[in-house]
Amino acid sequence: MLVLLPVSRTTGREMVITVDDLPAVSVLPLSPSQRDAITSRLLRAFEDHRVPAIGFVNENKVYDSTGAVDPARVGLLRRWLAAGLELGNHTWSHPNLDRTPLPAYEADILRGERIIRPMLQARGDSLRYFRHPFLNTGRSLAVRDSLLRFLAAHGYQVAPVTIDNGDYLFAAAYDRLRSVADSAGARRVRAEYLDYLERVVGYYEGQAGAIVGRPFPQILLLHANRLNADTFDQLALLLERRGYRFIPLNRALGDPAYRLPDRYDGPAGISWLHRWALTRGVPRSVLGGEPQVPGWINQAAAAGAGTSS
């Protein structure tokens, strides 16, 4: 059957799905049932599409407003593991490395593994991946490399992102529209989000050709929000139609592309594709054309205070 499809559909594209800000994130307060729904819908879609996803945890999101561990939220993390998925460390409180002294940042990383490290060890697994909040990796090579040594000493490998995007902006708009029962607006956000993500994926496929010289296993950044819970099934179908299958992070990182030199120390939390390109001196014009989040989404997202990344 496959031989009848165009070549572009049979090239065996591969993608890792990474989900940040577990157990769940929103610009608005989340109820226990909303957290549960986000988790249930994501895990069901991952199972349906055989997605070996990895979730990156902010352990401060596991505590309730009194400062006590919420067993229900710990239970949500256990469900990720029970579904055969992996968990990684995304710090305790989501600090920005560019605004946080390195010792405090490193303490936040260790505080962020108190629950998940034993949870993984009890299963015979190990905690092996770290994702920088905001993808900020340090404003000097000294800070950047010092943190990399700290991470290695604690058994962590950095989880890069090659397909960066504004999912959190769409999610903020979505949560706000849903909170005022604007179902038509929420439907429009879902449709525009999927259209946007398909254009983003197409853009980074082009960047892979221009920067790596070939397709390679891409790593997509998403967040554990209601929008992704409600749309991941459709996103997976869309990606499958483009020829993708989903692979675990460790397999993607085995690709030589992930050993390209990276000496990026700029202010923007950007795709690793662009870090490799800037390190090599690729003209910035090559990096242009990244799809933009529509203005009305930005406005709807900013209708209150706070964003997440």
Question: Which of 14, 20, 113, 230 is close enough to bind Zn ion by CB under 5 A?
Answer: 20
- Residues in 132-161 that interact with Zn ion by CB under 5 A: 133
- Give the Cα separation of 30 and 18 in Å (integer): 21
175 binds Zn ion (CB under 5 A): no
Q: Is 39 helix (H, G, I), strand (E, B) or coil?
A: helix
Cβ 7 to Zn ion shortest distance, Å: 37
Structure tokens at 50: 């055989």
CB within 8 A of 299, min separation 6: which ones? none
Q: In terms of CB distance, is 21 or 167 closer to Zn ion? A: 21
Q: In terms of CB distance, is 14 or 164 closer to Zn ion? A: 164
Cβ 282 to Zn ion shortest distance, Å: 27
Q: In terms of CB distance, is 133 or 217 closer to Zn ion? A: 133
Cβ 183 to Zn ion shortest distance, Å: 28
The CB-nearest residue to Zn ion is: 20
Q: How many residues bind Zn ion (CB under 5 A)?
A: 3
- Residues in 114-133 that interact with Zn ion by CB under 5 A: 133
Q: Is 83 helix (H, G, I), strand (E, B) or coil?
A: coil
Cβ 304 to Zn ion shortest distance, Å: 19
What number of helices (H) and strands (E) belong to the chain?
A: 11, 7
Question: Which of 13, 14, 15, 21 is close enough to bind Zn ion by CB under 5 A?
Answer: 21
Cβ 5 to Zn ion shortest distance, Å: 37
Q: In terms of CB distance, is 217 or 269 closer to Zn ion? A: 269
- Give the Cα separation of 279 and 146 in Å (integer): 19
Q: Is 160 helix (H, G, I), strand (E, B) or coil?
A: coil
Angle between helices 226-241 and 183-207 (to 10 degrees): 50
CB within 8 A of 197, min separation 6: which ones? 165, 167, 235, 238
Backbone angles phi, psi at 94, to 5 degrees: 60, 45
- Sketch the per residue contact string, 81 through 120, with Zn ion: x for CB under 5 A, - otherwise: ----------------------------------------
End-to-end, the C-alpha distance of the chain in Å comes to 41
Cβ 164 to Zn ion shortest distance, Å: 12
* DSSP H/E element including 218: strand 218-223
Cβ 138 to Zn ion shortest distance, Å: 16
- Residues in 246-305 that interact with Zn ion by CB under 5 A: none
Conformation bin of residue 131: beta by default, left when phi > 0, alpha when psi is -120 to 50: beta
Which sign does the torsion angle of CA 196, 297, 264, 250 carry?
negative
Cβ 135 to Zn ion shortest distance, Å: 9
Window contacting Zn ion (CB under 5 A); options: 5-13, 16-24, 110-118, 241-249: 16-24
Are the beta carbons of 20 and 224 closer than 8 angstroms? yes
Window contacting Zn ion (CB under 5 A); options: 15-23, 71-79, 138-146, 188-196: 15-23
Chain contacts with Zn ion (rule: CB under 5 A): 20-21, 133
